[in-house]
Amino acid sequence: MSVISLVGQWFADPAHWSGPDGIPQRLVEHVQISAASVAIGAVIALPIGIALGHYGRFGNVAINISNVGRALPSFGVLVIAFQVLGLGNLPVLVALVALAIPPMVTNSYVGLSEVDPDVKEAARGMGYRELAQLLRVELPLAVPLVMAGIRTSAVQVVATATLAALIAGGGFGRYIIDGFAQQDYTKLAAGAVLVAVLAMATELSLSALERVLVPRGIRLQRAPVARRATTFKTA
């Protein structure tokens, strides 16, 4: 029987839709740890990137942090976190937060630092204080890139969370790792489909959110964002 029809049968089997190893439970695990990692990463990374971009300082650091992030082998980082922190969600969370930070720092830095100096001067001339200028002028203009950073991080965190199964974590990676271990290629392929779909869904839903959040006045500039945003892949 072909792989595709076997995978179809796997998905049709109600046993795979309930219990601790069921798809709903694994989905919740995968999304929970990813969302927590991106949220914690954002709380750390966005203020740093925004501050560096606003003051236009340490641009090299902000750009190069993505390069360092790319150089980190996610597999090694996860396993080392596991050896340091032991079993449970904590090592996964720590490793994913570490991988979530770089693209958000770089992209929010680029977004803020590219705000037209004339616009900033005009804001000053209109009497905006520094904080108001940052919040009401610079940040709205930087939303496309800030959001691109969050989206890039989120997609990579979802992808990397798959590897958590290697250190006894949950999530969809469980099916892939167990499939390899048990030489159950149907389970393996089904897990792969689930992971791929979840990564796409993350990408699409955050792109949609990005479109909603971008202020109407600057939507025309949306096209070049894709190419200015930092590409990032860790898993």
Which residues bind to another protein, rule: CB under 8 A? 3, 63, 67-68, 70-77, 79-80, 82-83, 110, 155, 158-160, 162-163, 166-167, 173, 176-177, 179-180, 185, 188-189, 191-193, 195-196, 199-200, 203, 226-228, 230-235
DSSP state of 113: H
- Cα 221 to chain centroid, rounded: 23
Residue placing its CB nearer to another protein in the complex, 9 or 231: 231
Q: From CA 166, how far away is CA 85, in angstroms rounded?
A: 15
Q: How many CA atoms lie within 13 A of 19 on its CB side?
A: 5
Dihedral (CA of 66, 174, 164, 34) sign: positive
Q: Which is nearer to another protein, 136 or 211 (CB)?
A: 211
CB of 132 to another protein, least distance (A): 30
- Side-chain-side CA neighbours of residue 6 (13 Å): 11
At closest approach, how far in Å is the CB of 4 from another protein?
10
Min separation Cβ 179 and another protein, Å? 7
Nearer to another protein, 216 or 227 (CB): 227
Nearer to another protein, 139 or 158 (CB): 158
Q: Which amino acid is at 55?
A: Y
Q: Which residue, 89 or 128, is less far from another protein as judged by CB?
A: 89
Structure tokens at 41: 């990463």
Task: Report in angstroms how near the CB of residue 22 gets to another protein at its nearest.
Answer: 19
Residue 185: CB minimum distance to another protein, A: 5
Q: Which long-range contacts (CB under 8 A, 24 or more apart) does 194-201 make?
A: 194/23, 194/26, 194/27, 195/158, 195/159, 195/162, 198/27, 198/30, 198/31, 198/158, 198/172, 199/155, 199/158, 199/159
- What burial letters (b/e) apply to 5-27, b meaning 16+ CB within 10 Å? eebeebeeeeebeeeeeebebbe
The least distance separating another protein from the CB of residue 125, rounded to whole angstroms, comes to 32
Please give the radius of gyration of the chain, using alpha carbons only, rounded to the nearest integer. 20
Task: Report the interhelical angle of 23-55 vs 89-113 (nearest 10°).
Answer: 40
Task: Give the nearer residue to another protein in terms of CB position, either 24 or 59.
Answer: 59
Nearer to another protein, 85 or 203 (CB): 203
* Closest approach of another protein to the CB of residue 86, in Å: 12
